[in-house]
Chain A
Amino acid sequence: MFYRETGQYKTNYGADEQIFPIRQDRIGVMIILAFAYLAVPFIGDDYWFSAILIPFLILSLAAIGLNLLTGYAGQLSLGSAGFMAVGAFAAYNFMLRIEGMPFLLGFILAGLSAAAVGIVFGLPSLRVKGFYLAAATLASQFFIEWVLTKFPWFTNNSASGVITAQKMVLFGYAFDTPMSRYLLTLVIVTLLALAAKNLVRTRTGRDWMAIRDMDVAAEVIGIPMLKTKLLAFAISSFYLGVAGALWAYCYLGTVEPQAFELTRSMQLLFMIIIGGMGTIVGAFFGAAFIVLLPIFLNLFTSTIFAGQVDPGMLSHLEQLVFGGMIIFFLIVEPLGLARLWQLGKQKLRLWPFPH
């Protein structure tokens, strides 16, 4: 009853090919955006902005990037954190070495640098698939970490290998409060998420999915394998690169190459698996699950069992519950939270009526 398309007649293909063809979806997205832009800045506090919302948004963006490559184009990658590192250190160096470089341009250049590196490490995908490709992308993860630690030029000869992000100033306005950084991140993530949604529903995305589902058939109907796969690597790495730059500039402030270890790549992969491969909304669900759930679990256990159970024991318990929930969700819905969301919407078509 609440999610019905009945009565929404479309009289041209334009109406059917818009980004959110169903009216309820359009309204839903508007409400979420309005809440994130207009309400959250007033009800959130500094802790929420800098410890929860900013990392959640940045990891969502990174998960979208990985999802374009793995979920849509079907190229399994374990090197995503490496590309984030390229983005973070590229942004740092561009802003350090070029006088008066606006930071937004620096972020874009960071994304482009990551895209270039992504294309190079995407080359093996033309020969190897699946697990073998995953092993090949693992090389990029270690290689990038190694380069950034080995050559001090990248960290501006910092003894500890730690870089401190420059100030972000736009038209004289400095983004130095957690709220302003939250809004900056939100704008970038919104724009890139919408762009990703557009990509996957047009020719670019269809070509990727075609390669993913059946590569020989895709080539036979005229989709060039080389170009399509490398484009997926480039665009995915661009997203990861921008996410990496944001991670350094909006979240941490000071970063070292070790912030982008293999664990981070794994985390991103889990996000898209739990959230839903081959969906944009799944990246947000996955990031929320990985970032927010442990925090809520912690809040929950610390209020319920406070003082009664040993704190060390509690944190182990939390991890246990968290692991259990990952397995539970994967058994209930292997296609991820996005699929559950889809099924929920299907149910809402009729609910509360039986027919």
Chain B
Amino acid sequence: MAESRHLGDIILKVDHISLSFGGVNALADISFQVRKGEILAIIGPNGAGKSSMLNVINGVYHPQKGTVTYKGETRHHMPPHRAAELGIGRTFQNIALFKGMSVLDNIKTGRSLKIKSNFLMNALWFGPARREELEHRQKVEEIIDFLRLEDIRRTPVGMLPYGLQKRVELGRALAAEPELLLLDEPMAGMNIEEKQAMCRFALDVNDEFGTTVVLIEHDMGVVMDISDRVVVLDYGKKIADGTPDEVRQNPEVINAYLGVSH
């Protein structure tokens, strides 16, 4: 698949990242690059540091060493909402939706940073505030359409089944029109149909909007099928980086996943 696709410049570069919590080294000297328009999978056994890596990229964790370069800007430290402003979207491993709000409102929060009107205009439902709300409603409806959530837009997300909640969370991330989308186990705990649907959405997002996708996934079938490149982590270290085929044949990866006989 990688051969047939035309990939752009490097959008994200992670350089020598080390992150530790107390005495535990979550990440040790990790470097890799993501090119614009590509789908990159990060895999590895439990506790390998995959989620920590995503948290470093969008500023939830601050690494002790190393830098993150996003769209040519290098930084050691950036708050998560700044990352969002720069176009990094994110979904979480354990669903992090706003439980008390409807599907519609959840997806609308994804557009908050694009809304300019301040609280005074909002309170008065005054010209620009109203116009803006309607404009953004239009955009949100496009996403609802894209993810086929029309019939549940008024339902509080707490009442939805797991698979749909995952989809709403993707919708919320998409609402911000991200350039780089970080998906943390988007298909965990799903049945085969839900997985297929989620794969389809991820590929469509990548295809239609040109969004770069970095995803963590445990289902090897999915990873090998949809990703252009795979980065393998094990105990906080990078042990492989390459196309799915290269990674599949890498002895260290086989070792980490299956173990070898001595």
Contact = CB atoms under 8 A, between A and B. Distances in A.
Interface in B57-71: 58, 60
Contact of A206 (B105, B129, B141): B105
Contact of A213 (B92, B99, B122, B130): B99
B123 A217 contact: no
Interface size, A (range): 20 to 34
B122 A202 contact: yes
B60 A223 contact: no
A207 B130 CA distance: 17
B109 A17 contact: no
Interface size, B (range): 35 or more
Interface string B2-27: 00000000000000000000000000
Contacts of B80: 216, 219-220
A209 interface: yes
B84 A13 contact: no
Contacts of B105: 206, 209
B98 A278 contact: no
Contacts of B119: 199, 204, 231, 235
Interface stretch (B132-140, B159-167, B186-194, B251-259): B132-140
Nearest to A212: B100
B97 interface: yes
A96 to B, nearest CB: 28
Nearest to B83: A220
Nearest to B141: A13
Contacts of A85: none
Interface string B114-135: 0101010011110001100110
B200 interface: no
B127 to A, nearest CB: 13
22 contacts: A16-B137, A195-B124, A199-B122, A199-B123, A203-B115, A205-B122, A206-B105, A206-B109, A207-B109, A209-B109, A214-B97, A214-B99, A216-B80, A216-B96, A217-B98, A218-B109, A220-B80, A220-B90, A220-B96, A221-B112, A221-B113, A222-B112
Interface of A: 13-14, 16-17, 19, 195-196, 198-199, 202-207, 209-210, 212-214, 216-225, 231, 235, 278
Given A13-B141, A223-B81, 14 more contacts: A202-B122, A203-B122, A204-B123, A206-B108, A206-B112, A209-B98, A209-B109, A219-B60, A219-B84, A220-B90, A221-B84, A222-B84, A223-B109, A224-B81
